[in-house]
Structure 1
Amino acid sequence: MSDEVIKHVTLRRSALLSVALQLVGLVAQVGQQLHPVRGEVLTQEFEFAHEVADGRQPLVVGAPEAQALVGREVVAAQFGGRIVQTPVLETFTDPDAAARVLDEITPLYERVFAEPPYLEGPRDLAGFLEGYEAFRTMPGFRLVLARSGGALVGFAFGVLLQPDSRWWNGLDVDESFTREDGSRTFVIREIAVAPEQRRRGLGRELHAAVLEGARVERVTHAVRPEAEAAMRMYEAIGYRDLGAKPPAWEGAPVYRYMVR
């Protein structure tokens, strides 16, 4: 699309875009009152639109936010948005292939979890690497990587809970609920998204991709309660909170255990 065409379309659509943004803001306000979780998501999408307008956020082709703003090229022209490539997802189930990409995953893990509220250091990284080496050989292992322009910008992986799992220990749930047979529950061990890729739906895409084809009764994940954006995302996609406890390792912080 030439600069002249973009300018012409922009002038004709500017009023429509302005009204659209006002409507999104109104829906977000009403949504906050009627349904706090979904209302919060709508509010974030409304704020995202204005961040694009101010040049503080790039506009991602194919992202839900871009589609919601009535025409990707038009919005990019109207807001001066920088159009960037939607990340490409790749799935791994082979443990050897998963081992080969660990060198890519490690620096992203360090960068994501060095931030608040995690503030992880070398000891935490060592624990992650040790856990990853064990998880990649477990039944049901699935790893999904997200790359943009060749760079790793997100990952997720999980396994099937086995009969001897201690995942549910310490939670106030019935024994029948905690019983595992090796195919009942898929646990998402990690989801990480690079800071520059957040609030664009990549976390949800990774979540959906790591569960693709999983024939299980339920899915579970543990989340730090201080990670408010992550908590909101899981609540918005149907997870319920089972309670809080620290994991099994020494000095572990408290996590909220969620299931859907």
Structure 2
Amino acid sequence: MTLLEKIIVEPLDGPAAARSEPDFRLVYAEVFAEAPYEESSDAVEATFRRFRSQVRKATFRGALARTADGEPVGIAYGYPLSPATGWWDRLITPVPADVRREDGHRTFGLMEFAVQAPWRRLGVGRRLHEVLLAGGGEERVLLNALPAAEAAQAAYRFWGYRKVGEAHPWEDAALHDVMVLGLG
């Protein structure tokens, strides 16, 4: 049995993800403490204040990868973008209106995605991504990625994401690449 075959990836709705917050937090804190992110404990706490709000959305979807003995090794979550989303407003160079149009069903916003270092390059991230997006019905996925996160950038490009612009996703954020993957 390969290492990947020992991984279980489960889809989670908002309430289930809320119950699994300690596992999401453990993976997130470990991965985002690494370079180039180097997030502080305050930054992790801010992420999980948002997480507690995000899991209450009826359209929230998450995925959690665990070893056969239950150890969390990867996370992914997000939700479809509403017509009032500010995501497109953060781009340095605006995109055309037809690209930024949202209706609550068109675009899945991938908020966070992380796989612990020992489990990378084994297909865990790909499985997380597939489980997260399965059955959602959106026509595309949108995410922000640090340009210096070379491994993440390479995976996203390999999966078919393309850069559509650059943004500061939140106040005082570093410049991120805004990437889109068509699902049709």
User: If the length of structure 2 is used for normalisation, what is the TM-score?
Assistant: 0.91
1: CA distance between counterparts of 2:28 and 2:160? 26
* 1:251 and 2:172 correspond: yes
1:254, CA displacement in angstroms? 1.3
Aligned residues: 178
State the partner residue of 1:196: 118
Instruction: Map Cα deviations across residues 195-235 of structure 1 (whole Å, 9 max, x no partner).
Output: 11111111111111100001112111111110111111111
2:51 corresponds to: 132
Q: What are the Cα deviations for residues 48-93 of structure 1, in whole angstroms up to 9, with x where unaligned?
A: xxxxxxxxxxxx6174xxxxxxxxxxxxxxxxxxxxx521011111
Aligned CA RMSD, in angstroms, stands at: 1.4
SS of aligned partner of 1:116: coil
Q: Hey, what's the Cα distance between the residues in 2 that align with 1:185 and 1:201?
A: 24
Q: Can you give the 5+ residue segments of structure 1 that lack an aligned partner in the other structure?
A: 1-59, 64-84
| Aligned-partner Cα distance in 1 for 2:139–2:9 | 25
Matches within 5 A, 1:111-150: 111-148=30-67, 149-150=69-70
State the identity as a percent.
37
d(CA) in 1 for partners of 2:101, 2:58: 17
Please state which structure has a larger fraction of its residues in strand: 2
User: Which consecutive residues of structure 2, in runs of 5 or more, have no partner in the other structure?
Assistant: none
Do 1:139 and 1:160's aligned partners in 2 also have CA atoms closer than 8 Å? no
Q: Return structure 1 stretches of 4+ with deviation > 3 angstroms.
A: none
**Match status 1:176 vs 2:176:** no
Kindly indicate whether structure 1 or structure 2 has the higher relative contact order, using CA contacts under 8 Å at least 6 residues apart. 2
1:155-166 equivalences under 5 Å are 155-166=75-86
Tell me the amino acid that sits aligned with residue 55 of structure 2. R
Query: Which of 111, 116, 129 is the matching residue for 1:207?
Result: 129
Q: Max radius of gyration: which structure?
A: 1
